[in-house]
Amino acid sequence: MNYPTPAIVGQNAVRPLPRWALLLLCLAYVVPGFVGRGPWKNADVAAFGYMLELANGRTAWLAPQLGGLPPETDGLLPYWLGAWAIQIIPDGLMAPEMAARLPFMALLVLTLAATWYGVYYLARSPGAQPVAFAFGGEARPSDYARAIADGALLALIACLGLAQLSHEATGYLAQLACAALIFFAVATLPYHSVAPALAMVAGMLGLTLAGAPTFAALLGAGSITLVALAPPNPAEPSDRRLRWVVALTVVTVLAAVLAWQLDLWRWRLVDAATEGKEFRSLARLLLWFGWPAWPLAAWTLWRWRKQLFNRRLHRHLWLPLWFALVSVAATFTTQPADRALLVGLPAMAALAAFALPTFRRSMAALIDWFTLLFFSASALTIWVIWFAMQTGIPAQPAANVTKLAPGFTPEFSWLAVAVALAASVAWCRLVWWRAARNRAAIWKSLVLPASGAALGWLLLTTLWLPLLDYARSYAPQARKLSAALGPNPGCVQMLGLSRAQVAALQYHARLRLQPASQTAHCPWLVAGAWQVPSDLVNPAHWTQQAVIGRPTDKNEFILLLRRKASPD
């Protein structure tokens, strides 16, 4: 039995979102956070360390190491991308850390584009179409699909958890982009051949090489099932489905074989007996990380429930639902949880978009008012604290900054202030536009959430960028270590340092750290723990030279030890 669609949409409700406005919003979201900063702790600087080692030819491409340590979580693809960018772009033209981020900026753009086009073709499917009016006037399929795709892109940008992780040069952004490519490929299959084939191969192999072969296998298996069981699409030739099922199976098997050959099958499952997850913290993560997409996605599942459990498998519901379920399941069973949830954000945004044609005016108004108050208050807070950093007024915010970031010296940049002012004025103009007119477009409810998220991220990465760079970088600690070592320190051993610390000290302090051993005779030792094991470091041969901490973390210290002179 076929149930009527809950979407009742007239042609006047699918007026297009101006392309210039959408592109400007994407630009304002993508660029800030990648430009003007150093490598941040922890995953960002650790990944950059491996990229630098590969680019300089100091480690093997198939088995990269950093200070004798193999990568902890990421696959090979992100390191290759960053290393190739560092090699291609001359050091004098661009700093290595900025060069390494360029491929990841492209990956974020690819994620946004794949999400838009994937949802566009899902909205074109027959089961997603709105109710046909008796006397005409319902939304045309292409216009309706464009409006739904605009809403999905706005919902993705509005997700609070996307901001930081999508602006780090790590394998998690590569996983996000590759999962979005797979989503796009399966959504586009009934309409095109070449584009979905290339996207599927790139997505499956890329997701595997990015360190998530299990994700690739599960998404591939779900895609095969969906293509095999979905009802025929009038735009799809009758003999194409079998070919796609075979092709998807072959690509999934090839990705699994590739992971086996490169030894990428490593599960990071949580042992419930020894390290069971705190479900309260997971609930908080799920609550804010996918906001506001997840409540809209839940509304979609409720309003479209008759189509969801119909005998006819509707792709526009089951495809994003499967991707979201795989991501949420990984969040509960693997570490780190937020990185696993990141991969499912495009799918959540797709589900959220299909809630838009079912909204009542009261619900849209509630979203608008909550968003307006939250992001306006957040922007005002950022401006007030920035003004306090520059002038000391108000005194309390300035004192709080001094307490939390001792030694930080505020910097003033006319360019940053100009960009922040322009973004704030644009936000005020947008609020006036939204409040002054009763717009009928179905994407209107997500304009303020997406623009507010972009505004907050842009203000943080312009006005607060020097402070964030100081707080989240190892550079201040590395400079103190370099001063304590003096010029030409020679051989330096390390013991108990994390991958992020090794990468930061080698880059910022220009050191070549060697693993501590009983046979090495370096004059210096940098240790990352208060207790130095005597089997590797004999206290009779070493003296503590300095204890160097990070200014913004009282619990993170490194020890500098100097070898005692041998008795004559």
Q: What is the mean pLDDT of residues 1-16?
A: 77
Top-confidence range, 185-199, 221-235, 436-450, 525-539: 185-199
User: Does residue 269 carry a pLDDT above 70?
Assistant: no
Give the model's confidence band at 75: pLDDT under 50 very low, under 70 low, under 90 confident, else very high. confident
Six token digits for residue 249: 């199976």
From 492, 457, 464, 466, select the one nearest 478 (Cα to Cα): 492
From 373, 406, 371, 400, select the one nearest 385 (Cα to Cα): 400
Residues 172/305, Cβ–Cβ less than 8 Å: no
CA–CA separation, 319 and 147 (whole Å): 19
From 426, 464, 463, select the one nearest 448 (Cα to Cα): 426
Residues 217/252, Cβ–Cβ less than 8 Å: yes
pTM of the model: 0.93
* % of the chain beyond a pLDDT of 90: 55
Six token digits for residue 410: 């505020």
Note the pLDDT of residue 233: 64
| CB within 8 Å of 197: residues ≥ 6 apart | 185, 247
Give the model's confidence band at 275: pLDDT under 50 very low, under 70 low, under 90 confident, else very high. very low
Q: How far is CA 558 from CA 353, 354, 546, in A?
A: 49, 52, 8
CA–CA separation, 255 and 236 (whole Å): 27
CA–CA separation, 464 and 458 (whole Å): 9
Helices (H), 278-413: 279-289, 293-303, 305-308, 315-333, 337-342, 345-353, 361-391, 395-404
- What is the widest separation between alpha-carbon atoms in the chain? 104
Give the model's confidence band at 51: pLDDT under 50 very low, under 70 low, under 90 confident, else very high. very high
Q: What is the mean pLDDT of residues 352-374?
A: 86
CA–CA separation, 431 and 419 (whole Å): 18
Note the pLDDT of residue 453: 95
**Residue 111 identity:** T
Note the pLDDT of residue 268: 58
**Residue 31 identity:** V
Q: How many CB atoms lie within 10 A of CB 232?
A: 12
| Mean per-residue pLDDT over the chain, rounded | 88
Of the given ranges (220-224, 488-492, 548-552), which has the lowest mean pLDDT?
488-492
Note the pLDDT of residue 359: 82
Six token digits for residue 548: 């160097």
CA–CA separation, 318 and 207 (whole Å): 21
Six token digits for residue 345: 């954000």
Using DSSP's 3-state secondary structure scheme, residue 333 falls into: helix
CA–CA separation, 402 and 289 (whole Å): 29
Summarize pLDDT for 441-493 with one digit per residue, the tens.
888 889 999 999 999 999 999 999 999 999 999 999 999 999 999 888 888 88
Summarize pLDDT for 54-74 with one digit per residue, the tens.
999 999 998 899 988 888 876
